[in-house]
Amino acid sequence: MQLMREKGAAGGGLRERKKRATRAALAEAAVRLAAEHGAEKVTVEAISAAAGVSVRTFFNYFDTRDDAFVVIDADAGARMRRAVLDAPAGLSPLEVLRGALAAELAEAEQQHELWRLHAEVLHASPHLLARGVGAHMAAEAELAEAIAERLGDAGGGIYPRLLAAVAGTAVRTSVDHWSAHQEEAAFLDVFHEVFSLLAAGLPAPPA
Amino acid sequence: MQLMREKGAAGGGLRERKKRATRAALAEAAVRLAAEHGAEKVTVEAISAAAGVSVRTFFNYFDTRDDAFVVIDADAGARMRRAVLDAPAGLSPLEVLRGALAAELAEAEQQHELWRLHAEVLHASPHLLARGVGAHMAAEAELAEAIAERLGDAGGGIYPRLLAAVAGTAVRTSVDHWSAHQEEAAFLDVFHEVFSLLAAGLPAPPA
DNA sequence: GTGCATCTTTGCATACCATGCAACTTATGA
DNA sequence: TCATAAGTTGCATGGTATGCAAAGATGCAC
């Protein structure tokens, strides 16, 4: 019952640290139990017991049982926003996103082991995969805003939202492909290949 | 207790027609009730009552309460598959998808009224929107297969899945944008604009 | 149209998910 | 140390979801 990368806001009082620890313990217990028994077989009671809290407390941390499998990094949106706004002026919006996402993902990949387990669990039940998408959509909306802001008057139409949505899709597709062909390629290589395809307008591959 | 466009496989015996009718009645009741009272306030009992069946029967048609709001056209995947495989050989994969999706959506748009209501309900609770994405993912997988098949040996990598996923994203983004700016543009115009952006590699819009 | 096989619907029992509320315990800061 | 704010817990309640067996339709052969 520990772990914690203390990513965004570190430290704080004992209270906050305990909250973080409890949340992390619940999330980790959920993923490990799901990896072992299958997500559908894992009850809230089991997760709570494994994390050493009551069922009622589980629901103080997650609105839904499934939320425990889907880990949302609430600070990611804000970080990406800054990355988009601070990027060099010369870059195209797509290049800006490629950079911001690559940086974010490189960091996430350090938690390699738990990340893999995660991907495994989500992949095993499409139901949860969809929920993961939902979790990303809030971040995508924030991304779209940042892009629109960066573009100024030119960002009034559908372009920012499309770009953010496509970028999110690119990430998910990359993760999906990588987790199915883990031995063949490094994740970031897959990711960059995907963005190259997007930048080229998704041309037909050579026969 | 009527309606039905008898899209894919029409007719059949009385049994099948009744099943279709029941399913449609449940789905329509769900959407109308949700539009009126908010999706979260609509119980399975209310939906079932409105459709004139028992609660137990509801669960014979939908695995989940939310599924009733998300309407899945189970035949759409098969239709698109054929459209992709039957398209002229000269077209690029992206153009093929643009055509297949446009045809499918043009047909769907004829149910204009219910479709709008649908978009409204989904948009009101992001939770359901995510579920809608999940519903589309199965279709996307089928699309990816069709694309891979069309491409032959060239379709072995990540390209088909990426293309299918991006196309799905394009549709969702178009619907989203259109439903927010309904008065300003026809849906298919939005849709084609989006595909043009994709084909051009998502270039920065003119300042 | 009779009768049998098959499919559908339904009620009942059961288990899990999710929320509000009040009582209790623990951290925080003066 | 003490008062306050925050977090945890059990209990009560109601909605969601599944298995099972009985009853009701439908389809088909005769």
Q: Nearest Cα to A73, choosing from A105, A102, A46?
A: A105
Residues of chain B neighbouring A205 (CB-CB closer than 8 A): 151, 154-155, 157, 159
pLDDT in tens, A32-54: 999 999 999 999 999 999 999 99
**Where does residue B17 rank: exposed (0-12), middle (13-18), buried (19+ CB within 10 A)?**
middle
Residues of chain B neighbouring A94 (CB-CB closer than 8 A): 201-202
Assess whether A121 and A45 both reside in one domain: no
A4 domain residue, yes or no: no
B202 touches strand D (CB under 7 A): no
End-to-end alpha carbon distance in chain B: 53
Q: How far apart are CA A137 and CA A134, in angstroms?
A: 5
Residue at which a domain ends, from A45, A70, A95: A70
User: Is there a contact between A169 and A139 (Cβ–Cβ < 8 Å)?
Assistant: no
pLDDT in tens, A126-172: 888 888 877 788 788 889 999 999 998 877 789 999 999 999 999 98
Assess whether B104 and B172 both reside in one domain: yes
Å separating the CA of residue B33 from the C1' of nucleotide D22: 32
Assess whether B187 and B95 both reside in one domain: yes
Question: Given an 8 Å threshold on Cβ–Cβ distance, is A151 in contact with B206?
Answer: no
- Give the 3-state secondary structure of residue A62: coil
Assess whether B83 and B62 both reside in one domain: no
| Strand D: positions under 7 A of a protein C-beta atom | 6-11, 15-20, 26-28
B38 domain residue, yes or no: yes
Assess whether A170 and A112 both reside in one domain: yes
User: Is there a contact between B203 and A92 (Cβ–Cβ < 8 Å)?
Assistant: yes
Q: pLDDT at residue B58 above 70?
A: yes
B207 domain residue, yes or no: no
User: Is there a contact between B117 and B35 (Cβ–Cβ < 8 Å)?
Assistant: yes
Assess whether B38 and B94 both reside in one domain: no
Assess whether B35 and B102 both reside in one domain: no
Assess whether A126 and A112 both reside in one domain: yes
B2 domain residue, yes or no: no
**Count of the separate structural domains present in chain A:** 2
User: Is there a contact between A163 and A93 (Cβ–Cβ < 8 Å)?
Assistant: yes
Residue for token pair 């313990």? A25
A1 domain residue, yes or no: no
Question: Given an 8 Å threshold on Cβ–Cβ distance, is B172 in contact with A165?
Answer: yes
Average pLDDT over residues A92-106: 92
Q: How far apart are CA A198 and CA A194, in angstroms?
A: 6
Assess whether A44 and A112 both reside in one domain: no
Tokens of B135: 């519903």
Å separating the CA of residue B49 from the C1' of nucleotide C10: 14
Average pLDDT over residues B9-24: 83
Q: Nearest Cα to A195, choosing from A97, A49, A121?
A: A97
pLDDT in tens, B25-44: 999 999 999 999 999 999 99
Residue at which a domain ends, from A48, A70, A92: A70
A3 domain residue, yes or no: no
Å separating the CA of residue B84 from the C1' of nucleotide D27: 37
Handedness of CA A67, A69, A74, A79 (dihedral sign): negative
Q: How far apart are CA A146 and CA A81, in angstroms?
A: 5
The number of C-beta contacts closer than 8 angstroms across A and B is 128
- How many residues does this entry show for chain A? 207
pLDDT in tens, B117-130: 888 898 888 888 88
Question: Given an 8 Å threshold on Cβ–Cβ distance, is A152 in contact with B207?
Answer: yes
Residue at which a domain ends, from B24, B39, B70: B70
- Give the 3-state secondary structure of residue B122: helix
Assess whether A187 and A96 both reside in one domain: yes
Q: What is the CATH number of the domain that holds B24?
A: 1.10.10
* Least CB–CB distance from B130: residue in A126, A130, A152: A130
Question: Given an 8 Å threshold on Cβ–Cβ distance, is B173 in contact with A155?
Answer: no
Nearest-neighbour CA in chain A from B145: distance (Å): 14
Å separating the CA of residue B19 from the C1' of nucleotide D28: 20
DSSP 8-state class, residue A89: T
Residue among A133, A136, A147, A176 with most chain B CBs within 10 A, to mutate: A133
B106 domain residue, yes or no: yes
DSSP 8-state class, residue A203: P
For A15-24, the CB contacts below 8 A with 24+ separation are A22/A51, A22/A53, A22/A57, A22/A61, A23/A61
For residue B54, give its domain range: 14-70
Assess whether A88 and A136 both reside in one domain: yes
A7 confidence band (pLDDT: 50, 70, 90): very low
Q: How far apart are CA B25 and CA A113, in angstroms?
A: 47
Assess whether B94 and B117 both reside in one domain: yes
A127 touches strand D (CB under 7 A): no
User: Is there a contact between A134 and B126 (Cβ–Cβ < 8 Å)?
Assistant: yes
Tokens of B61: 């048609």
